[in-house]
Structure 1
Amino acid sequence: MPPRSRQRDAKIEGGVGSPNLGARRTIHAEMDSSRPMISLLLIVVAICSSGSMATTAGQGPVFVEEPGDVLHQLEGGGNRHVALRCNASGTPPPTYRWFSNGSEVDLTDGRHSVQAGTLVVATRRKGRAATAYSCLAANRHGAVRSRTALVLPQYLDPFPVEERDPVHVRLHAGLVLVCAPPPHSPGLGLRFRWLFNEFPALVQQDARRYVSQATGDLYVARAEAGDGGRYSCYVTASIMGSHTSVLSSFVSLGLKKDATPAVKLAPHVELSLPPVTRVLAGRDVRLECFALGNPVPEVSWRRVGAELPAGARVTASGAALEMGSARAEHGGTYECEARNAKGSARSSTLLVVNEPPSWVRGIPPAELDIGDRLSWACEARGHPAPFYRWLRDGEALRPGGPVELGDDGTLTISAVDLSHSGMYQCEARNGNGTIYSAAELRVLEYAPHFGSSPDPGTAHVVRGGAATLLCRPRASPHATISWERHGAPILNSSRVFVRERDSSLLILNATEDADGGAYTCVAENARGRANLTLQLHVQEPTRMSRPPTDVTANVSDSVLLPCQASAAAAGMNIAYTWEALGRTLDPGRDAEKFWIASQSEDSGDLTIVKVRLADSGRYTCTARTPIDSVSASATLRVKGPPGPPASVRVMKVTNTSAMLSWKQGTVNNSPIRRYRVEARTPQSRQWASVSTAPAEIEGSAVTAVCEGLVPWTEYEFRVAAVSDVGTSEQSAPSRRIRTNAAPPTVVPVAVSGGGGRPRELTITWNPVHPELRYGDDFGYVVSFRPNSSSSTSTSSLMAPRGRHGGGGRNDDVGGDEDDERGWTQAVVPHAETALYVAELPPDVPPYAAFLVRVGTFNSAGEGPRGPAVIVHSAEALPSAVPESVAAVGASASELDVSWLPVPQEGLHGRLLGYSVSYWPAAAANELSAGTRQNARVSGEATGVRIAGLSATTTYSLTVRVLNGAGAGPPSRTANGTTLKPPPSQVPHNVSAQVTPGSGTTLHWDPVEATENESAVTGYKVLYWLESNGPGVQAVLESERTSAWLNLTSDGVYTVEVRARSPGGDGLPARLTVEVTTENHASALEKMPAKKGDRGSSGHNPLGLASTMVVLAAVLASFLLG
């Protein structure tokens, strides 16, 4: 049969049943990329056929079924039988032997028999010990041992019949009643309960009483009066599906009662946790903790350093902590704490979750030749960590000679021979179980072999290259190799030779045409001889028919680098690869950037998409055939925008210029044509182009002068290079510099002033912007003089004070502002100051006009003087008093007040208007009148109508003059009386008469005024289209009790009629008139409006006439009071 593993000096590992590795005959050539030396490696590996192997067909035993643990119940009479099954596959079929407690089972003892591999065991009634069994399955290839199975008797004996001694405890003390369960089979699950006095009364568990399911003992934290009585331990178990129960003898519990009060006791953990609790993975966990004490302690649980596992639950009123299906992560220290009013107590345990061994890696079967190296490694997990043992054919394997055993589960045989064949088992064991991994080692012996029908191997090599012919047949033991040509052994020379230490290699250097032909490899060992003939062809080398050429491209262009080669041998495959940028290009990974023509296109052209500057460099195309390779290179030059200039520095500075220098940046294969310079100031923060000298900075230049700069201003500069391809990024900014100072060229704007305190001249202006100050120590020169030929003295003018003035007035100035006579100058040395206040002599009248101009200066000199403007000095309170003040009633709520203009000399400033104060004359005077009000009149007006007054009331009033300084003295008090109120009666019997095409005539009854009302002087009619709203009204006045209305347009009109009088208009009577195209009109009665209201009321249509429709509106008049 063919070998299942053929790896000399190799590590053999994997799972049982790993795929077999068959040998195959291959021809492989290795080429040296350099030329002209070409190296060829021709390898010949044998394919073994079943007919050539000196081995025995078949398979060693492999377990299909292994015996498992068996439980059996001990009964009072007769024997019971249990069956242990053992079944293995193999060719020939295995035979079985059984072992009990390490010794072979005697099948003639009457208790044991074998039926088709199954061991039948007759159990004994009094046999309470567990018995271990294992089977050994064997055929001619070897033997394997099964796992060990236990035959376990199951039993629960009754309690002894002896009476138990009574127990006496003090009332409120803690106690424990011991169960002492009877003998039972190990591992049998028992359930414990306690009877109280008689069956079936059971002790109820609570925080005070607990039955341990580990020992069966009954714990009482504090004895109560009702606890006295008889107790029996009640044990139940399930054996082989049968329910079994046993009862202990009763024990009497007596309570001692003292006259003294019960003593309070701190908790004492009576049922404590063991130091270490071990549990098998997958099993349920139950931790018990119970304390005695008075009062009854409360028990709580925690895991030290972590939360309790998910699914953990506290039961039995806190005495038990349960967790299902233990896992490794459940491990840790668990602590219970019992606490009452007197104190607390703790107990803890370390929970260790053990795991039986399980395979991580088993051993695979192996077939090796004589002299090969075997290396097997098995690995198992478990807790605690398993230890390993090796068996061969069921017996423990001992190290020695070529056999080495490692503690980590490794087996090594440095050189196998036929005696090492057999069945091997790796055993992994810990305290929780034992597992086996089995595999067969088969050592083969056979003659050299190259395959059942070997074809001559064919290889190609280029002329002048080197070829290595490798001959490695299958043979066990290993074969000796020799080489022949033309029927004669090959003699070593400097050019053609067999390697000294490895005769399987025939080496030919500097091949010639004559080296082509057949070579024969001869292999021989003790089992036989075989040979194989190889054909070597010498041919012309591959050449580059279309090599890549140098290319220059712009950034973002796509370029094509050609590459095509031709091989001497027709049909020989050529593979193309490209190297560039320090690596081999991968079309799969770089598909978006590089694309190499497919094999079907018979070329290796390289397309580079959207080239970048970084793509510049040397590109090498290599064409490879199975026997050689050829390469050619080309350079890609990518032209792009230049790099930014570096090291921009300011070399020389004047007040309006700065000389810059810089270093040229990278050219990027396109010469720099010119440079652009930009600057910015801290105030603008925006970069802007600046004028330079020369205006066009050539690409070879590294200096330029920036012109047109503002004096005494901080600047930063940056430079950009421009080529035919594009513009570079901006350079890094230069360090910030300041231009030299220069005299200022601007003057303040918005020169104004005025206001302030008496005998002060206040001058204001807008400060000059910092960029226009042109130097430090910036300030202002303020000049002023009277705007007249008067002899006003200015000798006592004082220095400016830091006080802001009020508003002033700017006026154009006559032609004498250039006359330097009489000017007073003051220096304001602060750039941000915008105010100058001068004190004037006492003889300067208020509101005197001055010519004022403001100039500038800085450390470099004085700037221009500003244009002269007129600014007035501070005003004084008016001294003029209005004369001929009079007040006349204009209506029931209004007075017309008038006075004469005041003379200019009494204003002492600019006239702003007048203030009229008025109050009821009934008050004693203006100041005591709580209802005094004021009305202001702007400008030069000499009268005002005061509204909102009471009817038929006399008012007192005064008038004052106003200027910028305030109000002057009041005038003499004048009195005026408002008129009587208008009639309160509304017009009655209002009717509307429509004349087709002519309009509408209204009629109403006359209104009579009362004695306290103003006489009726006429009537006022208002009307409007409702669609337009009351904002669009027509007003008609009449002295009669009728009026004609031009209501010719279709629509609904609202009409109001009211009486007129000197005291004002009375309340209206309102009605609605509808005009249609048929010349019909309808009038709706309206209730009189409330006083002061133009309100409305609902419509009430009346009948119509063909030529005239008169609607008498019955108006309910009323007066408001």
Structure 2
Amino acid sequence: MLISLTFVLYYVYAIIPSVGSRIFDCPSGWETYINHCYKYVRYPKKNFHEASLACKLDGAALVKVEDFAENEFIKSKIKQYSRSLQWYTDATVNDNVRNLFVWRSSGNQIRKNLFWIDETEMQREGSSIIYSQKGNMVGWSRSPDTAQLSYICEISRVEAFPILKRTRDYGYGKLLRNRNEIRKGPTITIDAADTVIIESSKYIFLECVADGNPRPVYKWHRFQDNTTVEVTALDSHYTLTNGRLIISNPIDNRDAGYYQCSAENEFGKVMGNIVLLSFAYLGDFSNVIPEPVYADAYESTSIHCSHISFKPAITYQWVIGDMNFVRTTKQKYMFISRNGQLYFSEVSSADMGEYRCLATLFIKHHINDVDHIPSQLPSRISNAIRLIVRNKISKGKWGPVIHNDFIAAFPTQPTIGDDVYLECFAQGSSDDSNKMIYSWSKVDGKFSDRVILSDLNRVLLIKEARWEDEGQYKCTVQSQIAQDERVYSLRFQNKPIMSMPLKPQFVDIDSKVVWHCEAFSKPNPSYTWYKNGILLRTSEDVVISANILIINVAKKGHHDGMYQCVAKNKYGTTYSSAQLSVLAFKPNFLRSKALTNIKGAMGGNITLLCEAEGAPQPNITWKQKGKEIMNDLTASRIQQLPNGYLRIQKLNANDQGIYSCTASNKFGQATLTFNIVVTEALVITTKPQNTEVNVNETATLRCDASYNPSMDTVHEWFFNDIKIDFENNQHFSLSAEDPVGGLVIRNARIQHSGYYTCIVKSTINKIKARAFLSVKGAPGEVSGLAADGENIGRSSVHLKWVPPPDNGFPISIYTVYSRSIDQPEWKLQRSKILMSSIRMDDTGFHSVTISGLHSNQDYQFCISAANIEGVGDLSRPSSYIRTLSSPPLMPPKAVTGGGGKVKTLVIEWSPLEIWEQGGPGIGYSVYWRLKTNIGENWSNERIRGSLSSFVTYVADKFYTEYEVKIQAFNDFGFGPNSTIHTIFSAEDMPLGVPVNVFAADYNGTAMDVTWDPVSDTREVMRGRVQGYQVNYWDRDKDEPIRYSVRQYNTEGKTVVIGLLPNAYYLVTVQVFNTAGLGPVSETYLGTTGMEAPGAYPTEVNVYSHGPDSVLVTFRGVTVESVDADTVSGYKLCCWKVQEKYDLEKCIEVGLVSQYVVTGLEKHFLYNVRVMASSAGGDGKRSEATYFTLGGQIPFDQSQFDVLATASNLSAIKILIVASIIINFILQL
């Protein structure tokens, strides 16, 4: 029969002396919010009634949300625990009134629109109100009571003290003098990581480190031919030292592949993550000459980079001409995307030329300490891709219009932890008078502080992406004439992340074990289970269902071992490991800290602690002077509490004597005897004991005092002799189990280690007791970090430091960060420095050599230590230390050249950054020689300073191939040479002359000019043909203005536009290259045609004609100008309003006044315009007429002009016309 919890709590608190208004701590495993405790039970899932009962067994109830702040707290914890689960609350739908929501426990009504995700979730079927997630939103939804869900229990902190559970650990039932005596199975603390080898190395290593006692034995396996093979058995070039696998002289076809570490001792075996060892690779571009790219002037275009194979990644750059790099910060109308394409917002004839794509191998980072990124990563340059721009009439200012390829995300399927790039690029004219301005916003939130904008704000970078970075990102592009915007929905994929990892289980023999693990990932993971490295399947005694493992009857010696839950999706695999120990032993008091000789004050209270350990869990019975004590919580002055302790209240002389606590199970029993002496004085009956606790765990120090209730007493706690302020320190509170004198240190920190003193004062006397709390966790902060002045090299320093406190767990690794005056951002310099790599001297200093530094640079360092519990704080930065000077260690990059003045050779390069120069006195040695003179000596010139170009005289060696290389030097010597590049000397003035020049009328304002192209040879052109210049002037003017137009291609024809109708022009043609123009051709006399019709057709009407046709009628035009030609016919232009007007799709209908247009579609709105044609060209177009298959749609221009100004007329027209038309179309 269950006793009313409310009555029990009332009775207990009525007889316990008041402790004022202090609030007590929540039990272990419960979350605290203000004055309430919350327990989030993910597994096992239950239906509503089972969940409600489970909460009641703890004296709690399903959660009831009172206000907005409490709702936000609950939502934050739900996001923390799992995004995929749903959680029962106490709320329900009233059975009699639809959409009336109430709390079941109280019957109070809930506001209808309180915490629902949205209206749809509120209208779902089901009587229970639950917490759920929809997209990024967490809030209320509905569910049937029968659904198996997680649930949230809630209880007042005042009422939480009966929820008492003793946790088991590796020392349960054992007497251990220190932590080193704890025997346990292996746990991998440092796992290997994917490793990329860039260039040949003498050796590389993969390493994993495991904790365990006895010390684990390591093995490495390689996946090969659908099986795993122990690596050290393959070949002698593999060496295994502890967990480090060393591969000597690694080569791709032998050593690349997937590897896995395992660690094993007498308690079982665990496997580490599967890691990939790969070799970086960059192939070659095809030798096939790419097809030219054709583009119309004043339109947008792009050039695709030719295909190249690579591993793991590459970056792109583009080169114009002989080797002039595209600089998008200067050439602002160009954009280089991470997809390799070069985009132009608007192209012109000046952009005509040859473009080459430069691909460079890219390595994000290196995990392996022995690997290093070489000074020059491999790169390849493609064959020239020719861009040919066709002459067109300028459209004036237009755009911006965001290109269809954008917004683009890289990587295309981003995962958590990636650096994610969002790119935005718009088409349109952009110059100083019409600049395109890019901006970004997050539609559903704010940017994180890891967002960086670059490349004129066209690129948004999210560093090390997290879940909260998901959302809608909007790019807006503005100019003086228009604006465009586009939204991109950023969603992440990820490998499984263990949101509910396995924890060690210490279970009773013959008990049922239900083990859950949970991983969050997109897409959802699949689960497998392993025991001691062997795949588990459902059997008679073990049931496996996805992420749940059930052992119905745990047997010692059979089910003990190391278990692993493995979550896997296409992005990776994650392991969670823990030990299962099946316990079977008779009760004992080996770890009991209870005092057995206790003094209690007359009329006071005392508590006797029966801290027995046994498996199965012991039953507790008490005797007083040999007679069993009958327990009655509601009435008795002597009570056995739920945790087995015995509490005696209002002590009197008869309570003095011997008490015994007996703990028993099926394996036997053990008894602990107490002697109570009743005195008149104030006494401490239970003193605080020295205690160890891990960081973030909760420690409890008991301090029970016995005193006569008629005395006024005060309990106080001091930490390192400073009184604890409970009101202003969230880490300290009074114990729920011992609200009078017990102290709880919640979420303990390292700084909470120290002496705690309990003081009890009365009007008669004062007594005190103290104990030491040791908080175990990550190491402390390294101190005394400095560089050894006697061991400083050109690229290395020897650091030494005083090791920090290990805080209870041995230090396993150190990590070093560095920065320099010239590169002030902190960066990871060396990670995973194992203790085996650390030197220790007689003075206690630790030291290590840090390499990979730049010469002649002032560096600061900081360092952190880590152990199995985590990473300690970074040390204070060291003093600056300068590395020794050396010759430059890197060659100059981006060696290019070409162009320049006639009879010169121009050589260009990117100068070394200041931190790459190695020492003072930087300069460059420039080498060049004729490419045909391979094997001969180089010409050489040394120049001082941080220069980037050099020009030398080469006389008549115009447009000749030269080999060039650059070498940096300083006061300490010469650095390595760059790779050899081939460039051309400057071109000379062309000798070729175009012949057979001919000009004829194209229309009334243009001429068609043709000629025979010049031979594009070095002898004729003294370079390469860049294009042709057509010169023209009016024959009939005395002092004519001479005009010219250039075309940047090798074709022998062009159309000269913008001329007067019915006029005569003299024409010449010249070829040109980068040096200038060649000789003038012969002069030819050409003429333009008659003027095009000046009027446009009127009275355009459209009538329904057939199932896919309409009849268009119009009134023609009359030619009145003497310069205009006779109308030869009419053109009819028809298009869908959402499509772009295209003159080439206009239909020539002849000399008619009506025409049937066919091939039309239902439910579309069309535009039609009509123009007259003659030999002089096309005339003006008629006003736009709107129609559908049902016929013409009336639209009176005059009704709308008054509504709009010149700047917004088009937009207003569209909106008004659309509103008139939509219903009309839908009625068809």
Max Rg structure: 1
The question of a shared fold, defined as TM-score above 0.5 by the shorter chain, is answered with: no
**TM-score with structure 1 length normalisation?**
0.39
